[in-house]
Amino acid sequence: MVWLSELGAHVGQVFVGLVFLYAGLRKLRDIDGAQIAILDYHLIPAHLARLLAPLLGGFEITIGTALIVGMRVAVPIGLLLLAIMSTAVGTALARGLNIDCHCFGEGEKVSRATLVRNAVFAAALAVNLLLRTPNPSLFAPQFLTAPLSHLLGIGSILGAIVMTIMANRTVRRSAFGASERRR
């Protein structure tokens, strides 16, 4: 029956990975909306929000992919990301901000339900961390683990480079648009 609990833990990991993947893709489809949502929290300056919006989407895609393929290193990183996001939501609630979460695109206001949902995702990852044996994936046999890790690492670096280029272009477009509007 140990394999059943490990299977359940892995299914939870894959599910949270799919959630991160979806959320990241939504952010990248609407970088301007993601930037506005980040600014609405009033936690970081505008110039950092311009850079963070595409990077956050890319990071969520990377972590989601790593969780889906069964990389155990992604579990604590996913927990950390959920903790950071939950902290931002919690501070918004404590300050009485009525803002869009932008977790999965537009339309959802931050609420206690957002925190509960994040707690459920965190619990799924925590259970995975506690119950699973070192076998890294049900999708990737043991002999593929190292090459898969290397490929995902290289892909993450390339993804970060692409996200940085996209962020740079977004900042330039925003600055150009602002200078055009002033004329």
- Helix and strand tally (H, E) in the chain? 6, 0
* Cα–Cα dist 124/1, whole Å: 19
Structural domain total, the chain: 1
pTM over 0.75: no
Residue 171's SS3 state is helix
> In the chain, which stretches have pLDDT less than 50?
136-144, 176, 178-183
Model pLDDT, residue 33: 85
Model pLDDT, residue 168: 58
Residue 109's SS3 state is strand
Helical axes 46-69 vs 74-94, angle rounded to 10°: 140
* Residues spanned by the domain of 88: 2-182
Model pLDDT, residue 28: 85
Model pLDDT, residue 144: 47
In this structure, what token pair is assigned to residue 44? Answer: 């970081």
For tokens 């290397």, name the residue. 150
Model pLDDT, residue 96: 92
Model pLDDT, residue 138: 47
In this structure, what token pair is assigned to residue 17? Answer: 């990975």
Give residues with Cβ within 8 angstroms of 96, minimum separation 6: none
Model pLDDT, residue 163: 58
